[in-house]
Amino acid sequence: MNAILLAITGVSLLVAGFMSAVAWRMTREERRRSDARVAQLAEALYEEDGGSSVTVAQLLETARPDNRPRYLITMLAGICVVGALGGAGIFIARTRSDSPSRNARLQPSDVPLELLELDHEREGGHLIVRGVVRNPADSSERDGLSAVVVLVGHDGSVVASGRSALPNARLLPGATAPFVVTVSGAADIDRFRLSFRSDARLEPHVDRRTS
C-alpha cells in the first residue's frame, strides 16, 4: 500500500509540474500576443485614413483574449498539486503510524521462553515428557512457571492433559530449568502439545533445539 501511495504521489507531482509549465508557457504566449495587439492598436489610433475606425474596432474586438484554456490548465494544475500534497500527506501519516509497530521492541515480559531440549517416552499407559527451558537474558523474571502437556487423539480431540511446576520458583533472566510432565491415558494417542504457563497467563515460547 505504501508503495502504491508513493507511486501515485510521484506521478501527481510530475503531472502537476508539467501542467504548471504548460500554463506558464501559455501565459507568456498570451502576454506576447496581447502586447502585439496593443502595439497595433496604438499604431491604428494615429492613422489618418478613413478606415482607421474599422481597424480600431477590429483590434479592440480581437484584443480580448480567450482565457478559458489558460484557466482550465491552471485549474487542472491546481488539482494535481492538491492531489499530490494529499497523497504525500497520507503516505507520511501511514509511514509514521506504521513505524512504531515495525520498530517497537518487545517488552521484557513478552520475550518468549526458549525450549532448549525436549524428549518423551511411554511407560505403560503414561507419557513422560522431559525437557529444558530458558528464560532469555533480555526478558523479565518469570514466577510460578509450569509445563503443560496436552495429549491429542487421532481424531484431533483432547484425550488428556498434565501439568507440572518447574523446580525453580523464580526463573531469572538468562536462567534455565528442567521440567518433567507425566500424563496418564496415553495408550492410543496421535501427538502431544507442550506449552508453558505462569500464575497469570500462557507464556509464549520458541523452539531453540539444535537437534
Give pLDDT tens digits for 176-205: 999 999 999 998 899 999 999 988 789 999
Mean pLDDT of 8-34: 72
Integer Cα distance of 192 and 82 in angstroms: 60
Give residue 122's identity as a one-letter amino acid code. R
pTM: 0.51
pLDDT of residue 17: 72
Helix (H) or strand (E) holding 14: helix 2-45
pLDDT (tens digit, 9 = 90+) per residue, 65-109? 555 565 666 666 667 666 666 665 665 656 565 544 444 566 777
Integer Cα distance of 134 and 44 in angstroms: 100
Label residues 59-90 b or e (16+ Cβ within 10 Å = b): beeeeeeeeeebeebbebbeebbebbeebbee
Integer Cα distance of 135 and 92 in angstroms: 39
- Worst-scoring range by mean pLDDT, 5-9, 140-144, 170-174? 5-9
